[in-house]
Amino acid sequence: MMSSPVLSPPTLFTPADLKSKTTLLDNITELINDAFTRSKGLDPEKWEGAHRKRFPTLESYFEMLGEEGIITAIFDHDRIVAVAAAVPWTGGWKKEGAGVEKGWEIKAVAVHGDTKYLHRGLAVQLYTSLEQYLIQQERTKILKTKEVERAMTGHVSLWILAAECINGAYWRKRGYREVRRDTCGPSTWGCLTSFEMVVLQKELTFDLRSN
């Protein structure tokens, strides 16, 4: 008989937190790599998913996070079953928009492939956790300046860089709009043919008068 999961609320970590939690870090990258392989395995003629890891080393994961990245995770007892990260947006794949577009990129989202964790809204909980954190950080930043005297609302821009054929529709259903797209050829992200890479954006607006 399949046991019911006992899921934790989303828990936030910084890159510094993970550096002292080697086992957790190993489990995070394993979870992401497994999810990455599953998504590409749905179309093996198009993607080199079975032999390609999203993060082949722990160092590559830290490189993605940078110093300012934030990670959120959900656990079933001591087992990590869902994870996502937000990092400062630095422009698209070819760095278009770098230095002009501001905000945070949602990256490396993964949910465990066991059926008892799928279709339970775990990814949505992760996004919500990150959104709440980023809004609070931006609110605190604004309230420390005189900008609050000139505005009643604040804004946080969220960005997604996605393969249209894999999860473009998924992100649109969650409020993201397309900003631009480009056709990418073989070898990009392990693609064996070509695909449309889309840049998607979502604007979060919040009231500066409330917590």
> Is pLDDT at 147 greater than 70 in this prediction?
no
Of 44-53, 104-113, 125-134, minimum mean pLDDT range: 44-53
Q: What number is the average pLDDT over the span 42-46?
A: 84
User: What pLDDT score was predicted for residue 210?
Assistant: 67
With tokens 């937190």, the residue in question is 17
> Is pLDDT at 130 greater than 70 in this prediction?
yes
Q: How confident is the model at residue 41 (pLDDT cuts 50, 70, 90)?
A: confident
> Do 159 and 106 contact (CB within 8 A), yes or no?
yes
So where are the chain's domains? Answer: 11-151
User: What pLDDT score was predicted for residue 155?
Assistant: 93
- DSSP β-ladder status, 11-13 and 70-76: antiparallel
Q: Is the pTM of this model over 0.95?
A: no
> Is pLDDT at 137 greater than 90 in this prediction?
yes
Three-class HEC string of 138-201: HHHHHHCCHHHHCCCEEEEEEEEEEEHHHHHHHHHCCCCEEEEEEEECCCHHHECCCEEEEEEE
User: What pLDDT score was predicted for residue 209?
Assistant: 72
> Is pLDDT at 91 greater than 70 in this prediction?
yes
> Is pLDDT at 1 greater than 60 in this prediction?
no
Between 100 and 144, name the one with better pLDDT.
100
User: What pLDDT score was predicted for residue 52?
Assistant: 77
User: Across the chain, what does the average pLDDT equal?
Assistant: 91
Written out in words, the top-level CATH class of the domain with range 11-151 is: alpha beta
Q: Which two tokens stand for residue 3?
A: 């046991």
Please report the sign of the dihedral spanned by the C-alpha atoms of residue 19, residue 21, residue 23, residue 24. Answer: negative
Q: Which two tokens stand for residue 44?
A: 């093996």
